[in-house]
Amino acid sequence: MYSQGSSPVDKTALAKRFGKAAVHYDHYAKLQKEVGEHLLGLIPPIKYEVALDLGCGTGFFLQSLQPLSERLLALDLSLGMLQQARLRHALAEFMCADAESLPLTTGSVDLVFTSLAIQWCHSYPALLSELHRVLRPGGVLVFSTLCAGSLDELRRAWAQCDQHAHVNQFVAQQSLMTWCKAQGFTVSTWEIRKHSLQYPDLHALLMGLKGIGASQVLGSRPAGLGGRARLQQLALAYERQRNEDGWLPLSYEVCYGVLVR
């Protein structure tokens, strides 16, 4: 479902899908809140002149970033997401743009904060090069992203139904670290944490993905989950992973990094 390592995601479609999810995103975004809160705690506690929330979504973290910075920029690919973010926190400067091609001057940013957004980019090396460009020397990049191991339960369940790739591969954290260093960043903090969500049934699990705008699955088949029969097949396959507490698990391997430019 995320982009890295398979056919590139269509960014116009992605922006539309996130825009559609924007109004109810907050209701479903339990993992995103948890991850972003942890990430906020990793920001070196100094005052930054210009801070950027990259892929800000509905703007959960703008309120916490505001006191850390003189000037706060909030950027997202999706207009719908930005509209929600503006309602939440009008003090930031909002920009609708692509993280891989930023409308920002070289060396103009002191802090980039980005939580669970960059896994949608086409290329980590290209993204990291762009972030290196906009950060001033000594500037800080604080990120969270999804790594290999994420959504494995869903991938396993689909594998019992057919041969198609319904869930994208995520990047190995070692590759990510290599790319960060290759772009000239110094790694100050690097953490991998597993987050597990639990659902009563497959319907709730898929609604959880759809609710945050992540329902589209990429791979060798077109988007969409298929008809009723296929969903029943998937539900049966997923049942085999029901845990002893009676829940269907869905795991996320989250990589947290603090890099200095």
Residue nearest to ligand SAM (CB): 57
What count of residues does the chain have?
261
Contact residue for ligand SAM among 4, 115, 168, 216 (CB under 6 A): 115
Q: Give the CA angle between residues 258, 254, 242 to the nearest 5°.
A: 165
Contact residue for ligand SAM among 1, 4, 29, 158 (CB under 6 A): 29
Angstrom distance (rounded) from CA 190 to CA 40: 14
Under rule CB under 6 A, which residues in 196-255 are in contact with ligand SAM? Answer: 212
Question: Of 55 and 208, which has the nearer Cβ to ligand SAM?
Answer: 55
- Classify each residue of 208-241 as buried b or exposed e, where b means 16 or more C-beta atoms within 10 Å of its C-beta: bbbbbbbbbbbbeeeeebeeeeeeebbbebbeee
The distance of closest approach from Cβ of residue 81 to ligand SAM in the complex, given in angstroms and rounded to an integer, is 4
> Residue 85, interface with ligand SAM (CB under 6 A)?
no
Angstrom distance (rounded) from CA 207 to CA 157: 16
Under rule CB under 6 A, which residues in 132-151 are in contact with ligand SAM? Answer: none
Please name the amino acid found at residue 149: G
Contact residue for ligand SAM among 55, 139, 208, 257 (CB under 6 A): 55
Size of the site for ligand SAM (CB under 6 A): 23
Question: Of 66 and 241, which has the nearer Cβ to ligand SAM?
Answer: 66
Task: With contacts defined by CB under 6 A, name the span among 96-104, 191-199, 229-237, 240-248 that binds ligand SAM.
Answer: 96-104
Angstrom distance (rounded) from CA 146 to CA 172: 9
Contact residue for ligand SAM among 72, 73, 76, 218 (CB under 6 A): 76
For residue 18, give the 3-state DSSP assignment.
helix
Angstrom distance (rounded) from CA 210 to CA 148: 21
What residues make contact with ligand SAM under the rule CB under 6 A?
A: 14-15, 18, 29, 32, 36, 55-57, 60, 76-78, 81, 98-100, 115-117, 120-121, 212
